[in-house]
Structure 1
Amino acid sequence: MQYFLAKAGLDFFIAFGVVFGGAALAAVGSVFMLLPPVTTMLDTADRLKIWAIVAAVGGSIDPVRVIESNIADGHLSPAAQQICFIIAAFLGAHLGTEMVKLVCKGAA
């Protein structure tokens, strides 16, 4: 149980960090390229969301393979764990996107 919570927490914060950090660095880069940072930040956060989930769960194929092989063998627990990890990563990426929107709302 401790491993499950630790892994789910890490997936959440990795996805959050990918979205929020990537959007923040894109805003810094947009200043150097003379582009509007707020627009760049919002666009980047939306585009990074799915990639943050993929990065957090450790690749796009491995979790799906674990789910498929365990369900085929009749073991539902490992498959349910992988689905929970993907949900935790999604929540982190979504919170990161919402945080970027909140930050940009104050700047706009």
Structure 2
Amino acid sequence: MSYFLSKAGLDFFIAFGVVIGGSMLAGLGSVFMLLPPAVTMLDTAARLKIWAIVAAIGGSIDPVRVIESNIAQGQLSPAAQQICFIIIAFLGAHLATELVRLICRGPA
């Protein structure tokens, strides 16, 4: 269980960091290019969300292969873990996207 929680936590924060970091750097770059930073940050956060999930779960198709091979062998536990890692990475990326949206739009 300890491995699961530590991997899940890392996946969450990696996905979160990819979206936040990418959006912040895009906003900084947009200032140098004389573009509106808030619009650039919002657009970048939305486009980076899927790539943040891919980066968090390993950056390749291997997790999908693990799911497929374990289900084919009748073992659901490793497949369920991989699906949980993907969901947790999505939550990290989504939370970061919502945080960027909140920051860029300001108080309501």
Task: Give TM-score scaled by structure 2 length.
Answer: 0.97
Distance 1:59 1:72 in 2: 23
Partner of 1:11: 11
| SS of corresponding position for 1:56 | helix
Q: Point out where structure 1 has 5 or more consecutive residues left out of the alignment.
A: none
The residue that corresponds to 1:32 in the other structure is: 32
C-alpha distance in structure 1 between counterparts of 2:6 and 2:12, whole Å: 10
Aligned equivalents of 1:97, 1:60: Cα separation in 2: 22
1:1-108 alignment, distance < 5 Å? 1-106=1-106
Q: Deviations over 1:74-105 (max 9, x none)?
A: 11000000000000000000000000001001
Aligned residues: 108
User: In 2, Cα distance between the equivalents of 1:69 and 1:27?
Assistant: 42
Return the alpha-carbon distance in structure 1 between the equivalents of residues 37 and 101 of structure 2: 12
CA distance in 2, matches of 1:37, 1:21: 14
- The one-letter amino acid of 1:84's match is C
Structure 2 CA distance for aligned equivalents of residues 17 and 77 of structure 1: 28
Q: Percent identity?
A: 81
Which deviations, in whole Å up to 9, do the C-alpha atoms of 1:33-82 show, x marking residues without a partner? 00000000000000000000000000231110000000000110000000
CA–CA distance in structure 2, aligned partners of residues 95 and 60 of structure 1: 23
Q: Give the superposed CA RMSD.
A: 1.3
Which stretches in structure 2 are left out of the alignment for 5+ residues? Answer: none
